[in-house]
Amino acid sequence: MLRWIFIVVLTIGLLGGSWYLYTVQPLEQSVNVVLPSDEEVAVVVPLNPETIQKRDVTLFIGDPETGALIRRISDIDADLSGIDAMRETVKQLLAPGEDVRNYAIPEGTELLSVFLTSTGTVYLNVNRNLQDRHIGGMAAELATVTSLVNTLLFNFREIRQVQILVEGAEIETVAGHIDCRKPFSKMLLSQNS
């Protein structure tokens, strides 16, 4: 009987403590902000694009004439690392230049997010255009998957696997041929790479 009373009192204490923690607002700490006087003027120094350090990345893009994947060297800011560097690389893969299109990736495909797990699996989340606007066929689908997977695995040693997601969900295939339910752990074969 004493044990039951102890359990009831403990339960009430835990519920009361939880209620208190979630309902009581913490005291805001005040921060002193010093505003500049009218005499002080902020100086804006424009960035010179020539002084920004760049780092080369290799993009695997589709050749419009042969349909094969070719390597194209591009660059990203050297200051970018981790997820930011991966995000910028994929954005360049989807749109390699003003007048250049990656024919391996369906037009209108946009990067929604990229995240990396502690085990080295990168999740590449793109919009539905990857599937909806895909031209179909095994060769075209292989080029699409290879373009995405090889670009990430080739440029980032911390990546062990690449999982393709469409609007946050796992997909079976991009266009009916290549199994995308599990992450890709090796670079895929590509012609002329």
Residue 68 within any structural domain of the chain: yes
SS3 at position 16: helix
Q: Radius of gyration of the chain from Cα atoms? A: 25
Return the pLDDT at 20.
52
Q: Tokens 């009361």 appear where?
A: 16
Q: What is the pLDDT of residue 86?
A: 96
* pLDDT surpasses 90 at 77: yes
DSSP string, 138-169: HHHHHHHHHHHHHHHHHH-TT--EEEEEETTE
Asked if residue 186 belongs to a domain, the reply is no
pLDDT at 96: 78
Residue 193's pLDDT band, with cuts at 50, 70 and 90, is very low
Say if 118 falls within a structural domain.
yes
Task: Give the chain's domain count.
Answer: 1
The structure's pTM equals: 0.70
Residue 187 is assigned to a structural domain of this protein: no
Q: Which band of pLDDT confidence, cut at 50, 70 and 90, is reported for residue 3?
A: confident
Instruction: State the average pLDDT over residues 16-38.
Output: 48
Q: Which residues contact 115 (CB under 8 A, 6 or more apart)?
A: 83, 122, 123, 125
Q: How confident is the model at residue 167 (pLDDT cuts 50, 70, 90)?
A: very high
Q: CA 62, CA 151: separation in Å to the nearest integer?
A: 12
Bigger pLDDT: 66 vs 150: 150
78 falls within a domain: yes
Of the candidates 193, 71, 65, 190, the residue with the CA atom closest to the CA atom of residue 139:
190
Q: Using the predicted structure, report yes or no on whether residue 35 has a pLDDT greater than 60.
A: no
Range of the domain at 132: 49-170
Q: Are 31 and 124 in contact (CB under 8 A)?
A: no
